[in-house]
Chains A and B, each alone.
Chain A
């Protein structure tokens, strides 16, 4: 404003004392932060509700918003069950979730790196065709393939196994696509130098290209991990054995019959949500930086 007035060589028509302008600006800024804090609070309310009620005495679960005392009864129930209810394998389910999600995400990232490198930095006949196939598959509605994919996985003998959950989700087209476009920006000189030093192409991918793209790799990994962790439909249809179910599936399956044990289900939900939340907060430093790259 001041610069503008100087340019125009005019004084403001209404003279407002400078101190009041400053005060008003502070009030406006403060209001914005207040609004932002309130918004974030609304955003995390369901998480708070979940945590509070997983720690509430059972006669207060879903009765009062803030329980009068905190207890670990719901968590004990998860592990030991009660006289009338045998415990379900909740911890095993958490382990299953970890195995399936980590395995799946690892394969998706590695495959994205290698294939992305091949498509962006190598030259071979048919390269454009491979790229076009990826685009075609990206735009082809996956839901049409749900039943036939299930049949193929069953025919491969992977029904009711970890591999049945991991292998059909071992490739992410989105990750390949992101790495392909990102690797284009690596200078050719660096790659040439690495080749002269005798590094193999795979060596270049993991020793040169990967370290040069840590933020974007972190964000891609986080997104893939998050999505895999909360997957319901596929894991629900491919596994029947309670001991192989992911935590998400076990909670969904038990939400009907265990409707009378909301405290326990909240405790299971906390165990489901906490790891992903912690992981995200640890890497949130990379998040904004990498997200801008992902959106480009």
Chain B
């Protein structure tokens, strides 16, 4: 086959992606650059160049500030709980002699749930006069205002996220656990190491790559929460569970401020980028200090 034919063939087979990238990546990319500096309501023909005003307004907006802060509020609960639960699941499943696959699948089931359906269940289970409410009334004499209290609302949404993603992260840990050479454990046994010591000196250091990627995935996720607060709290109470994506959705499609919304998404992207960079720095420094990586 001629050289020329090969070239044509290659480009032809890559063309579905290239066509897609032009229409749904490069074109929106260019448009977003124009939009962030403009004021346009998606419909009217009048269209105004406003310079950096969108960014200045976004930085001063309490709604955007709360969206920024709420990512970290969710992080406080989701990161430690999520790591603990998914690691525990992985260790448990890995230690089973039979039916490992069956249990791995069982723990993965929550990942299949639609956030909408789960939010309805949570809303119902916490409703007035619900089984959970009555349990609290009978045992503690009062029912907490689940979604009306800022920190309780954050905790509940965090628990929903932990519930959904733990089985998925556990699979990543499980793959990491199963790639640890058995000889290391045998050597530790010969040295008479306790199982606690084995965990801290072998299992955890060898899981460092898995730990690293799960943590990055989790942190990234915290800036993209939408479904749960959209159904459950609409961002309330008092913007405590207001997220970046809720604010972008609201500004773009309810307030019809496309430029402002795109400016907020740019800030959102920046916030993710910087936070992930910081987390990576911290993780790498810890890894080096503990001697887990060079």
Point out residues on A near B: beta carbons under 8 Å: 1, 4, 29, 32-33, 35-36, 39-40, 43-44, 46-47, 49-50, 53, 61-65, 111, 114-115, 117-119, 122-127, 130, 133-134, 137, 140-141, 143-152, 168, 170-171, 176, 201-202, 226, 229-230, 232-233, 236-237, 248, 251-252, 255, 262, 265-266, 269, 272-273, 276-277, 280-281, 284, 287-288, 291-292, 295
Q: Is A262 a contact partner of B120 (Cβ separation < 8 A)? A: yes
Query: What's the dominant secondary structure at chain A's contact region?
Result: helix
B274 at the interface (CB under 8 A from A): no
Alpha-carbon distance A46/B23, docked complex (angstroms):
40
Given A168-B24, A237-B253, A276-B112, also A39-B35 (CB < 8 A): no
Chain B residues 1-42 with CB under 8 Å of chain A are: 6-7, 9-11, 13-14, 16-18, 20-21, 23-25, 27-29, 31-32, 35, 42
Which residues does chain A contribute within 8 Å of B211, judged by CB atoms?
none
Nearest A residue to B85 via CB reads A39
- CB-contact partner of B10 in A111, A118, A146, A233, under 8 A: A118
Alpha-carbon distance A164/B28, docked complex (angstroms):
15
Q: Is A115 a contact partner of B13 (Cβ separation < 8 A)? A: yes
5 A-B pairs in the complex with CB atoms less than 8 angstroms apart? A39-B103, A111-B16, A147-B248, A252-B116, A266-B121
B216 at the interface (CB under 8 A from A): no
Number of chain B residues close to chain A: CB under 8 A? 84
Best-buried of A170, A232, A272, A292 by chain B (most CB within 10 Å): A232
Q: Is A272 a contact partner of B117 (Cβ separation < 8 A)? A: yes
Q: Is A252 a contact partner of B112 (Cβ separation < 8 A)? A: no
Q: Is A233 a contact partner of B112 (Cβ separation < 8 A)? A: no
- CB of A58, distance to nearest CB on chain B (Å): 12
Given A141-B269, A143-B265, also A269-B17 (CB < 8 A): no
Point out residues on B near A: beta carbons under 8 Å: 6-7, 9-11, 13-14, 16-18, 20-21, 23-25, 27-29, 31-32, 35, 42, 89, 92-93, 95-97, 99, 101, 103-125, 127, 129-131, 163, 167, 171-172, 175, 189-190, 224, 226-227, 230-231, 244-245, 248-249, 252-253, 258, 261-262, 265-266, 268-269, 272-273
- Number of A-B residue pairs having CB atoms within 8 Å of each other in the complex: 241
Q: Is B120 a contact partner of A295 (Cβ separation < 8 A)? A: no
Which residues does chain A contribute within 8 Å of B104, judged by CB atoms?
288
Nearest A residue to B224 via CB reads A143
Given A146-B252, A251-B117, also A32-B109 (CB < 8 A): no
- CB of B265, distance to nearest CB on chain A (Å): 4
Best-buried of A35, A119, A168, A252 by chain B (most CB within 10 Å): A252
Which residues does chain B contribute within 8 Å of A33, judged by CB atoms?
96, 99
Which residues does chain B contribute within 8 Å of A292, judged by CB atoms?
175
- CB-contact partner of A148 in B16, B107, B114, B262, under 8 A: B262
- CB of B97, distance to nearest CB on chain A (Å): 7
